Structure 1
Amino acid sequence: MLTGTMEDIQSQHVPDACFIRAPLGAAEVLSCEMADALSCLMVTGAEELVSRVIRVKVQGRANFHFPVTLVVPFCARYRGNYRDVAVKIIDEERRASYVTPATTEGTYGGQRGSFAEVRVYALGLCAVVSRLKRENYTVPRRGLSLKLAMDPRICLNYLPGAFAAPVMAQTKLLPRLLQIQPVDTVLLAAVKSRSDVYYLVASTSPLLYLTHPSSQPLRRPLTVTLPCPPNPERKRDVRGQEKQTEHHHGGRVAPAWDQPASNRVREFGATLKSPKETANELLIVLVSRDKQWSVLEKVTVRNLQNGLVSVELTENFDRLLLVRLLSPLQPPHLTSLAERLEESVGCHAVTVVLQRRRDDPHTALVAAMLSRDLSWELNKLRAQGYGGPLEASSDISMSEGDQLLLRFSGNITSTRSQNNRNDVPHERLTFHTQRTNHLLVQLTEVDPFGNYSSPHYKGAAMFYKVNSVQLEWRGDGAVLMDMKLLGDPVCALSLTLPKKVRSVNRPVTARVKLCEETDSLSDSLLLWLAGELSEEEVAVLVLSLRLRRSVAQLVRLRAGDSLTSQAFHVLATWRRGLPAAPHQLKASQLARCLAKSGRPDLARELLLRQAAATRQGSMT
C-alpha cells in the first residue's frame, strides 16, 4: 500500500490511499501522491469524478517491469443503469486511456468498500470516473434485434440486409431528460423558463447516441424503440374530467387538422393515433448529424403500449431524440430545444456556502453544494460543529470540472493571498457532482487599524466562475489561459472578523477614575432578556421596536434555530441602530416596548437591573 499526502480537503469520505501490487522491490522506486489540484483536467464530456486524483511515478530512471495492479478507492453516490465506472489514466505525455476495473468491491487495508482494481502498463495521473455506458455490437447480414442491457425498453431492430456487410456499431445513452422526477422537473422548469413556447413540451425520450460506419449507409429501415411517456398532467386529468371534455379543451390550441396529411407529417412530425390521453398530442423526431440538429420530416412513428414509441430510420444519424408536444411548434424552436436540453443535462444548480465555527472565526469553510441537497448538507455541517453565521449565494449553474476562484475585498483577505502581487487568485474550489467540494480558507485582516468605527473587521469574498475548457496544463498544474476570461464575479459573500483586545501598558502614576457611564444595555443584560422571551413575544417585540422585515429575516438566518439567539440578535440589531443618547433613555425606550408587548414585569426588572448597573459603575 502506498499512501499520499493531501493537497486540500476537497475529497472527504474517500481514503487518501491507493494499493499497488508490483514485483518485489517496487516500493523502493515507486512514489504515490495526491494531485487533486488537477481534478478539473481529469474529466471531459459527461464524465464525473468519483475518487481522489493520484499521481504514481517511478523515481529517477529506475528499471521497472509492467504490468502492475492498481487499486483506487472511490465513492459513487449515483450509480444507475446508464453509467458505469472506469479508471482513467493520463500518462506523462498527457494521453488519456480508460481501463475497465476487474472488480469494484473488495477489502483492502482492513476496510471493505468500493475499490477499482485494474492492471496498468503505464503510470501517471489516475482517477476513477463515472461515465455513460457504451454498448458495442455487430450487425450481421441476417439482421439483428437488440435490447440494450442498460435499458431493456430501448430496442434496435435491423432488418436482414440492412448493411451490405457486417458492421460494428456503438450506442451511448444519456439519461431521460424530462422524466417525472425531482431532478428532471428542475431541468424542465429551467429550460421552459427561457421561452414560453417550451411549455408545449409534454415529455421527451432519452437522448440516444448511435454510431455507424460512415462508409456503410442503411439499405433497409432501422426501427428504434424508445420510451416517451404521455403527458402526465393530462393522464391525471382524464380520469376525473371525462364528462367535461368540451369545457376542458375549449381554450387549447388545436393542431392544424385542416391541412393535408402529407403537410402535417412534413411540418410537425407524426400525429398520434392512440388512446384518449394522447389523442391531441404530437410526436416529433429530432435527429443530429455533424452536431447539427434538425426535424426529421417524412418518418413513420408508432405509439406502442406503456409509453413506448417506435421510429423507422432510413439514414444514419449521430443522435436521436423524440419530443411529445401538446401543440405544434415550429422547427427552429424544436432544434433550439434539443440544443438547450443537451447543454443543460450536464449543468447543475449550485449554492456556494461560507460558514465558520464559533470557536475559530479565522477559519472559513467554503463549500459548493448542489442546491437540491442544500438542507441535507447544511445539517451535516452543523453536526461537524459549524454553527456560526451562514453566508449563502443564489443558484449558480456549474458543470463537472468547473472552478470557483476566490478574490477578497475590503479589510479581510486570506493568508495565501496576503502577499499576492501578481493578482492571481490562489484560493480555488473545483466542482464535482459526486464529491464533497470543500475548501478551508485562513482569514486575516489587511489593516489592523482599519474599520475603527466597527467592532469587527469587514470584507467580502468574491467568486469567479471558470469553465474547465478555459483551463490548460502548465507544468504540473492547471491554470487559466488568460486572466481576462475571469469576467464579473458570480457571487459575493460578506465576511467579518472580530477585533483583538489590545492591552495598553500605562505607567502607574495616579489612580484614574473613568467618568464614562456603564453601558446599561450591555450584552449580558440583553442576553438575560432574550432568555425570558417566548417566540410570540419576540415577534410582537420586533413590531414594537419598528425593525424592518428584511432585518428580522436576516437575523433569523444568521442566528439559526435557537430562539434565545434570535431574540438576542434582534435586541443587538436594535441597539446598533439607536442614535447617540444617554443610556438611561435607551433602557427606558426598551422598557416601554416590552410593556406594549405584554410583558410589564420584564420592563420593571430591566429598569431595576439598569439602575443597579449604573450604581455599580459610579462606585468604581
Structure 2
Amino acid sequence: FLVEESNKNQYEVACFIEAPAAALEYLKCKIVNDISSLVVEDSEELVSNIISIECSDYEKTIHFPISIAIPFTSCFRGNYREIMVKVTDVNIQSNYLAPVSLERHQGSHKKTFAEVKIYQLGVFSVLSCLKKEAFTVPEAGLSQKLSVDPRINFCYHPETFSSPAPMQLKIQPIEPSLLSTLKARHDMFHSVISTSALVYVQHPSAQPFNNPVTITLPCPPNPDKKRQGDGTEHTRAISATVRRVAAAYHPRALSASVRKNGENLRDTLKLLGHRNKVEGWKVFDDVIIQYVRNGLVSFQLNEHLERFVVIRLSFLLDSTYLLLFAQALEEALCSTMANVILYQKRENPYQIVVLLSASKDLTCELQNLHEEGYCGPPEPTQQFPLREGEQVHFRFRGNICASENGKDFGKVYRLIFHSQRKSRLELQIKEVDEFGNHSSPHYKGTAVFYKLTREMITKEWEQPMPSGEYQQHSLLCKLALTLPKHEKVINRPRSTKRIFSDSSEALWDNLLYWLAEELAEDNTSLPALCLPVRRSVLQLVRLKCPDNLAHQIFELFCCWQRTLPRSADKEQLLSRYLRKSGRSDLSEELHFRWQNKVFA
C-alpha cells in the first residue's frame, strides 16, 4: 500500500493498491485535495481525499485491471444515496464506478474503504451521490416501482415507445425543515404546504411519447385542517413583501398578484417541470393531479421532463410565484448553510485556526476547538449558503499578517467547502508594524473573506491563488482580531542600567499574585476593583487570560502599576482602592504583609 505524508511527522493512508509487483514499482500516488472543486457537482458530497495515481515511467506498460481501495468517512442519508468512486481524467472528464466492497480492513487500519477495479490511471474520489435507478421500457410497456421508495411508480402503457427505451431516475427528498426555512425567508411562499420529492429523469434515446406515462408519488397531505382563515390573514403580509422578494429572482414578477381567499376551497396540487436549460421551469396547469390514498397523488405526462416536483398549496398562487418557488427550492437543495470560525490559541494568541464548518455542526466544532485550547473572540460569522466545492478565500488587512510556515507572510489563503469534510487551516500571525496602533494597547487587524462559486473557478488541474483584487460582490464577511503588545526590551549601556539594591520588586509581584488569587476566590469582577484604568485595558486582560480570573486580576494590577510614576507609593494607593471596592480586610492584610515582608 502507498502512504502520503500529510504533516512533518505524520503519515496518512492515501489508498491501498493491489497490482503485480512490477507495476507497483512504477505507480506514484499523492493526495491532491486542492482540486476538489473540479470533481464534485450538485447533489454530490465528497467523503474522501482526492487521490492522484500516475505512472512514474511513461514507457512502462501497466497491465489492467488493478484494484484500489480508498478510505472514506460518510454519513449515509437514508435509502436515497449511495457511495460511488469518481474517476476523472486529464481532460477533467469523469465517469463513475460502483465499489465492489465498502468494508475492507488492511492490517491495523479499521476505516471503511471503497474498493474498485480500475482500467486507467487518473484522479479518484469517493462521493455520496443520489442513487440512480436504471431500467429499460419495452414496447409492451412497464410498471416500475423504485427501490429507493416503492411508493413512487412509473407506469408506461403498451407502445409508449416505438422501441425499447432506457431510463435513468434519481430521487431528491425534500425535508420539511428546508421547506419551513424557505417559507420563513420568503413570505410569498406561505401557501406551500408540502412538496413531493424532486425527481430527476434521463431519457437517453429521446423517443417521443406515443402514450402518456402515469406517475404516482407521495405528496404529504395538509397536517392542519383549519386553513379556512389563513388566506385573508397572510395575503396582506404577502402583498406587502412579495414585490421586494420577487425582484431578486425575476424582474417581471412585479406585475403578478396573489389570489384571494375565495379560491381557498381545498388544497390545490400543481406540477412544476423543467424541460431543458433554455426553457427552464414551467407550471403545467393542464395536467390534472388526482388524489390516490394516504398522501399519494397521480398524474399523466405526455412529454419528457428533466426534473419535476408536485407542490401542495393551501390557496392558489400566480404562476410567476410558483416558478420563483421552484428556483428557490432547487437552489436551497444544492446549498448548505455554513459558518467561518477564526479562533486564537488560548496560551499563544499568535497561533490561530480558521475553519469552514456546516452550520449544523457548528456547536460540535466549537466544543472541539475549545478542547484543543482555541477560543474567541472573534465569534463565528453569521451563517451563509455554500454549494459543494465552492471556495472561500481570505487575506489579512490592517496591522496583522499571517503565514502557514512562519516565513511567507501576506498571502491569500483558501478553504474549500465540503459538507461532510473539514476544511481547516492553522496559521501563525504577527504584527506588520511593531510601532503601529500606538493609541491602542493591542495590535489590530481584519481577516477579509471572499466567496468563489464553482463557475468562477478555472477548469484547470493547477489551481493558482489569484493575485489581483477580488470583486466587491464576492465579499463574504470580515472578522476583526487583535494581538497583545509585548513589552519592549531596551538594551541600555552598562552605565545606564538600573541596579536594584534589593529584590523588593520581585517580592511586590509575589504579593500582587497572592492578592489576585484571594480576589479570584471571591469571583471579584475586574470593574469592581475600582482601579483607574481604561476600558480597553480591561478588554486586553480578558483577551490575554480568557479562562483564568486570577491571571486577569494580576495582569490588571501590572497594567495599573505601569501607569504610576516611579516615586508613587504603590502599596498605599492599592490599599486605598481595595477599601474603596469594599475589601478593607484585604487592604489591612496587604499593609501587614508589605511592612513585614510576608509573602507566603
> What's the TM-score once normalised by structure 1's chain length?
0.78
Counterpart position of 2:241: none
Query: Is contact 1:552–1:570 with CA below 8 Å preserved after alignment?
Result: no
Say whether residues 1:40 and 2:37 are aligned partners.
yes
Q: 1:360 to 1:556 in 2, by over 3 A?
A: closer
Q: 1:607 to 1:151 in 2, by over 3 A?
A: same
Q: Give the whole-Å Cα distance in 1 for the aligned partners of 2:320 and 2:562.
A: 62
Say whether residues 1:319 and 2:307 are aligned partners.
yes
Q: Give the whole-Å Cα distance in 2 for the aligned partners of 1:492 and 1:246.
A: 47
Offset of residue 417 of structure 1: 9.7
Amino acid at match of 2:521: G
Q: Give the whole-Å Cα distance in 1 for the aligned partners of 2:231 and 2:382.
A: 39
SS of the residue aligned with 1:4? Answer: strand
Counterpart position of 1:379: 367
Q: Give the whole-Å Cα distance in 2 for the aligned partners of 1:448 and 1:75.
A: 45
Say whether residues 1:293 and 2:281 are aligned partners.
yes
Offset of residue 464 of structure 1: 1.2
Percent of residue pairs identical: 36
SS of the residue aligned with 1:605? Answer: helix
Q: Give the whole-Å Cα distance in 2 for the aligned partners of 1:190 and 1:558.
A: 40
Offset of residue 16 of structure 1: 3.3
Counterpart position of 1:131: 129
Say whether residues 1:608 and 2:596 are aligned partners.
no
Q: Give the whole-Å Cα distance in 2 for the aligned partners of 1:616 and 1:496.
A: 42
Q: 2:323 aligns with which of 308, 330, 335?
A: 335
Deviations 1:332-381 (A, max 9, x none): 00001001110111111111111233233322111111112211121222
Say whether residues 1:530 and 2:508 are aligned partners.
no
Amino acid at match of 1:43: V
Amino acid at match of 2:417: F
Query: Is contact 2:378–2:479 with CA below 8 Å preserved after alignment?
Result: no
Q: Give the whole-Å Cα distance in 2 for the aligned partners of 1:298 and 1:553.
A: 66
Deviations 1:300-330 (A, max 9, x none): 2122332221122222222111111111110
Query: Is contact 1:352–1:393 with CA below 8 Å preserved after alignment?
Result: yes
Q: 1:481 to 1:42 in 2, by over 3 A?
A: farther
Counterpart position of 1:258: none
Deviations 1:89-137 (A, max 9, x none): 2223332222111111111233233101111121122111111221111
Q: Give the whole-Å Cα distance in 1 for the aligned partners of 2:101 and 2:52.
A: 21
Query: Is contact 1:288–1:294 with CA below 8 Å preserved after alignment?
Result: yes
Query: Is contact 1:364–1:443 with CA below 8 Å preserved after alignment?
Result: yes
Deviations 1:255-313 (A, max 9, x none): xxxxxxxxxxxx999xxxxxxxx972211111111131111112221223322211222
Q: 1:175 to 1:543 in 2, by over 3 A?
A: farther
Where do residues 25-174 of structure 1 align in structure 2 (5 Å cutoff)? Answer: 25-63=22-60, 64-174=62-172
Query: Is contact 2:196–2:219 with CA below 8 Å preserved after alignment?
Result: yes
Q: 1:512 to 1:118 in 2, by over 3 A?
A: same
Query: Is contact 2:66–2:119 with CA below 8 Å preserved after alignment?
Result: yes
Amino acid at match of 1:364: I
Q: 1:405 aligns with which of 383, 390, 393?
A: 393
Q: Give the whole-Å Cα distance in 2 for the aligned partners of 1:503 and 1:426.
A: 33
Offset of residue 2 of structure 1: 0.7
Q: Give the whole-Å Cα distance in 1 for the aligned partners of 2:559 and 2:332.
A: 46
Offset of residue 68 of structure 1: 1.3
Q: Give the whole-Å Cα distance in 2 for the aligned partners of 1:473 and 1:7.
A: 28
Counterpart position of 1:457: 443
Counterpart position of 2:4: 4
Counterpart position of 1:204: 195
Offset of residue 608 of structure 1: 3.4
Counterpart position of 2:433: 447
Q: 1:429 to 1:570 in 2, by over 3 A?
A: farther
SS of the residue aligned with 2:36? Answer: helix
SS of the residue aligned with 1:37? Answer: helix
Q: 1:586 to 1:368 in 2, by over 3 A?
A: farther
Q: 1:8 to 1:417 in 2, by over 3 A?
A: closer
Offset of residue 32 of structure 1: 1.0
Q: 1:556 to 1:415 in 2, by over 3 A?
A: closer
Query: Is contact 1:390–1:558 with CA below 8 Å preserved after alignment?
Result: no
Q: Give the whole-Å Cα distance in 2 for the aligned partners of 1:528 and 1:419.
A: 43
Counterpart position of 2:240: none
Query: Is contact 1:49–1:432 with CA below 8 Å preserved after alignment?
Result: yes
Query: Is contact 1:49–1:435 with CA below 8 Å preserved after alignment?
Result: yes
Where do residues 459-478 of structure 1 align in structure 2 (5 Å cutoff)? Answer: 459-474=445-460, 476-477=462-463
Query: Is contact 1:352–1:369 with CA below 8 Å preserved after alignment?
Result: yes
Offset of residue 154 of structure 1: 1.2
Q: Give the whole-Å Cα distance in 2 for the aligned partners of 1:450 and 1:522.
A: 31
Offset of residue 149 of structure 1: 0.9
Counterpart position of 1:217: 208
Structure 1 spans left out of the alignment, 5+ residues: 239-244, 255-266, 270-277, 596-602
Q: Give the whole-Å Cα distance in 1 for the aligned partners of 2:231 and 2:522.
A: 60
Q: Give the whole-Å Cα distance in 1 for the aligned partners of 2:299 and 2:557.
A: 68
Counterpart position of 1:359: 347
Q: 1:555 to 1:102 in 2, by over 3 A?
A: farther
Q: Give the whole-Å Cα distance in 2 for the aligned partners of 1:127 and 1:492.
A: 33
Q: Give the whole-Å Cα distance in 1 for the aligned partners of 2:287 and 2:543.
A: 56
Where do residues 164-563 of structure 1 align in structure 2 (5 Å cutoff)? Answer: 164-176=162-174, 179-180=175-176, 185=177, 187-213=178-204, 215-232=206-223, 234=224, 280-291=266-277, 292-387=280-375, 389=377, 391-415=379-403, 425-474=411-460, 476-477=462-463, 479-480=465-466, 483-485=469-471, 487=473, 489-509=475-495, 525-526=515-516, 528-533=518-523
Counterpart position of 1:264: none
> What's the TM-score once normalised by structure 2's chain length?
0.81
Deviations 1:401-458 (A, max 9, x none): 111112111221112599879x8x4321111100012111122222233334544332
Q: 1:578 to 1:428 in 2, by over 3 A?
A: farther
Q: Give the whole-Å Cα distance in 2 for the aligned partners of 1:105 and 1:54.
A: 19
Counterpart position of 2:247: none
Offset of residue 605 of structure 1: 3.3
Q: Give the whole-Å Cα distance in 1 for the aligned partners of 2:472 and 2:7.
A: 24
Q: Give the whole-Å Cα distance in 2 for the aligned partners of 1:46 and 1:615.
A: 75
Q: Give the whole-Å Cα distance in 1 for the aligned partners of 2:514 and 2:437.
A: 24
Counterpart position of 1:22: 19
Q: 1:172 to 1:496 in 2, by over 3 A?
A: same
Query: Is contact 2:450–2:470 with CA below 8 Å preserved after alignment?
Result: no
Offset of residue 84 of structure 1: 1.2
Amino acid at match of 1:224: I
Query: Is contact 2:165–2:205 with CA below 8 Å preserved after alignment?
Result: no
Q: 1:524 to 1:463 in 2, by over 3 A?
A: farther
Amino acid at match of 1:112: K
Amino acid at match of 1:5: E
Query: Is contact 1:38–1:478 with CA below 8 Å preserved after alignment?
Result: no
Q: 1:614 to 1:100 in 2, by over 3 A?
A: same
> Across the two proteins, how many residue pairs are aligned to each other?
563
| C-alpha RMSD of the superposition | 4.4
Counterpart position of 2:243: none
Q: Give the whole-Å Cα distance in 1 for the aligned partners of 2:312 and 2:553.
A: 53
Counterpart position of 2:242: none
Q: Give the whole-Å Cα distance in 2 for the aligned partners of 1:124 and 1:616.
A: 79
SS of the residue aligned with 1:116? Answer: strand
Moved more, 332-341 or 119-128: 119-128
Query: Is contact 1:17–1:72 with CA below 8 Å preserved after alignment?
Result: yes
